[in-house]
């Protein structure tokens, strides 16, 4: 028997939980959360370090503590959750959206909804994405998997660790493994700058005297049954390895912290258009995708640096989805938002000029003493100075008072402009 809901949310991590609460607070009653794991909270449950909640709750929390605050609120609102359930497909129809689920308890339920919010999060890039030459021994895993093994399963992945990539998870695991008695030999980063937040570089590497090799990469893996060593090579301006300066570092474990990819197989099956830069859906200023009634928020849309920002975005998404369900989501004239100098991407990529809109972007490379400019038809309507910008730190701001005659917006960084 088909079950009917106003809204179905795929994923009960930080984005899904916040979106569900926002829907409820904006007058939507029939809500279903679909979660593939047997618990809510997503990756937060294995992030036992602190640093969460400073923006959202004005208090420093661990990942589980942050998740628990939202879980308690969802349970208090009696929002229905299907755990150990996978969303197989979303079929857009004239009268709404039909979802086919696979549930350990309920079999193959079919549900329909007026709106669907995609909140599936992201996954880590693995060795298959990198094509590192060498043998294929044990002891190679993503930093997130190592985090789960240590923090959830109580299992140490190794004793002598090399970490490829300076993403935040890898940096945090360098500290975590050091605390547990492992020797982290070094962190190797392809780019000439760290991939994660600078506070994590300082607190997780510098404070423990762990070397960080910038403009280096792993060019060979050695070992038979278990990894025994890696070859580390410096890189040139094109990120190609150089022979001069290569060295061998012994290790029994290689952790990969080389970036995250939005989990968008389900989005593609639903016909959602994806952004080639972020890997997530293309959305408008209401966070609605190219398929009417399907919204997206959190790391499935683009990879965030702080979970607090995920919650903020998910709350806005829930508010807009509620308006759509009630037939009150008004659209006027949409215009494109283009990226300029030093801007890797901006979201949303098209906006309705009738209302203020929250914009999120990431710079391409580090820069000091620069200005962020928002231009409407070439004229500056917003300007802010930054002492330093980094690719690992997301920038957010609200665009207001966009002139009605605007045909397009451009976001760009410019040097010292006085």
The phi and psi torsions of 11 (rounded to 5 degrees) equal 110, 125
What pLDDT, on the 0 to 100 scale, is given for residue 196?
87
The answer on 241 and 225 residing in a single domain is: yes
What Rg do the C-alpha atoms of the chain give, in angstroms? Answer: 22
Nearest to 324 by CA among 101, 98, 97: 97
The answer on 113 and 59 residing in a single domain is: yes
Ramachandran region, residue 380 (left: φ > 0; alpha: ψ -120 to 50; beta: rest):
beta
- Give the neighbor-by-neighbor strand order of the sheet with 160-164: 140-142, 253-256, 160-164, 183-188, 212-213
The answer on 400 and 287 residing in a single domain is: no
* Separation of alpha carbons 273 and 120, rounded Å: 16
The answer on 90 and 28 residing in a single domain is: yes
What pLDDT, on the 0 to 100 scale, is given for residue 158?
96
The CATH number of the domain holding residue 355 is 2.60.40
Q: Decide which of 286, 306, 329 is a domain's last residue.
A: 329
| Cβ-based neighbours of 87, under 8 Å, separated by 6 or more | 10, 34, 99, 100, 101, 266
**Contact criterion met (CB below 8 Å) for 28 and 323:** no
SS3 266: helix
The answer on 131 and 95 residing in a single domain is: no
Six-digit token pair at 150?
């240590």
What pLDDT, on the 0 to 100 scale, is given for residue 1?
62
* Separation of alpha carbons 311 and 56, rounded Å: 8
Q: Decide which of 280, 301, 329 is a domain's last residue.
A: 329
Residue 354: exposure state from Cβ atoms within 10 A (0-12, 13-18, ≥19): middle
* Separation of alpha carbons 359 and 336, rounded Å: 12
Residue 181: exposure state from Cβ atoms within 10 A (0-12, 13-18, ≥19): exposed
The answer on 346 and 359 residing in a single domain is: yes
The answer on 247 and 163 residing in a single domain is: yes
SS3 356: coil
Nearest to 37 by CA among 70, 11, 62, 68: 11
The CATH number of the domain holding residue 323 is 3.50.50.60
What pLDDT, on the 0 to 100 scale, is given for residue 417?
43
**Contact criterion met (CB below 8 Å) for 254 and 230:** yes
Maximal CA-CA distance, the chain? 67
Six-digit token pair at 198?
């600078």
* Separation of alpha carbons 162 and 258, rounded Å: 13
The answer on 356 and 301 residing in a single domain is: no
Nearest to 8 by CA among 108, 107, 85: 85
The answer on 42 and 16 residing in a single domain is: yes
**Contact criterion met (CB below 8 Å) for 239 and 209:** no
Place of tokens 């047997």: 38
What pLDDT, on the 0 to 100 scale, is given for residue 418?
40
The answer on 77 and 149 residing in a single domain is: no
State the DSSP H helix or E strand holding residue 115, giving kind and residue range, or none if neither.
Answer: strand 110-118
Nearest to 130 by CA among 34, 44, 234, 218: 218
Per residue of the chain (418 residues), give pLDDT as tens: 689 999 999 999 999 999 999 999 999 999 999 999 999 999 999 999 988 999 899 999 999 999 999 999 999 999 999 999 999 999 999 889 999 999 988 899 999 999 999 999 999 998 888 888 989 999 999 999 999 999 999 999 999 999 999 989 999 999 999 999 999 999 999 999 998 888 899 999 999 999 999 999 999 999 999 999 999 999 998 878 898 999 999 999 999 999 899 999 999 999 999 999 999 999 999 999 999 999 999 999 999 989 999 999 999 999 999 999 999 998 778 899 999 999 999 999 999 887 889 999 999 999 999 999 999 999 999 999 999 999 988 999 999 888 889 999 999 999 754 4
The answer on 12 and 63 residing in a single domain is: yes
Q: Decide which of 232, 258, 284 is a domain's last residue.
A: 258
* Separation of alpha carbons 46 and 403, rounded Å: 46
The answer on 103 and 62 residing in a single domain is: yes
Number of domains into which the chain is organized: 3
* Separation of alpha carbons 4 and 7, rounded Å: 9
The boundaries of the domain holding residue 74 are 3-123+261-329
| pTM of the model as a whole | 0.93
């Amino acid at each position: 028997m088909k079950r009917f809901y106003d809204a179905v949310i795929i994923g009960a991590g930080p984005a899904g939980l916040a979106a569900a609460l926002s829907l409820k607070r904006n007058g939507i009653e029939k809500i279903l959360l679909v979660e593939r794991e047997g618990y809510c909270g997503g990756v937060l449950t294995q992030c036992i370090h602190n640093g969460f909640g400073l923006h959202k709750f004005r208090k420093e929390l661990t990942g589980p503590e942050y998740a628990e605050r939202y879980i308690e609120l969802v349970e208090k609102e009696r929002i229905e959750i299907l755990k150990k359930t996978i969303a197989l497909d979303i079929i857009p129809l004239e009268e709404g959206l039909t979802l086919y689920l696979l549930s350990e308890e309920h079999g193959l339920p079919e549900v329909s909804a007026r709106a669907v919010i995609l909140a599936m999060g992201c996954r880590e890039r693995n060795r298959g994405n990198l094509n590192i030459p060498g043998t294929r021994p044990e002891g190679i895993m993503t930093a997130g998997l190592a985090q789960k093994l240590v923090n959830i399963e109580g299992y140490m992945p190794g004793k002598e660790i090399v970490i490829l990539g300076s993403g935040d998870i890898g940096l945090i695991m360098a500290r975590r493994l050091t605390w547990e008695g492992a020797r982290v030999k070094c962190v190797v980063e392809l780019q000439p700058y760290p991939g994660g937040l600078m506070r994590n570089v300082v607190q997780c590497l510098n404070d423990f005297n762990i070397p960080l090799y910038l403009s280096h990469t792993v060019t060979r893996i050695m070992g038979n049954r278990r990894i025994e060593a890696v070859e580390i090579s410096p890189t040139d301006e094109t990120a190609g390895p150089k022979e001069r300066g290569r060295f061998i570092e012994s290790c029994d474990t290689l952790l990969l912290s080389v970036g995250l990819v939005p989990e968008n197989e389900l989005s593609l099956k639903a016909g959602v258009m994806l952004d080639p830069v972020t890997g997530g859906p293309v959305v408008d200023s209401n966070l609605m995708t190219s398929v009417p009634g399907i919204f997206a928020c959190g790391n499935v849309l683009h990879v965030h640096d702080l979970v607090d920002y995920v919650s903020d975005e998910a709350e806005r998404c829930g508010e807009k989805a509620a308006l759509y369900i009630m037939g009150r989501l008004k659209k006027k004239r949409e215009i494109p938002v283009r990226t300029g100098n030093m801007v890797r991407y901006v979201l949303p990529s098209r906006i309705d000029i009738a209302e203020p809109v929250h914009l999120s972007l990431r710079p391409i490379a580090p820069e000091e003493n620069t200005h962020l400019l928002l231009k409407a038809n070439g004229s500056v309507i917003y300007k802010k100075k930054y002492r330093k910008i980094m690719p690992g730190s997301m920038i957010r701001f609200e665009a207001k008072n966009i002139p009605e005659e605007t045909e397009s917006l451009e976001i760009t960084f410019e040097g010292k402009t006085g």
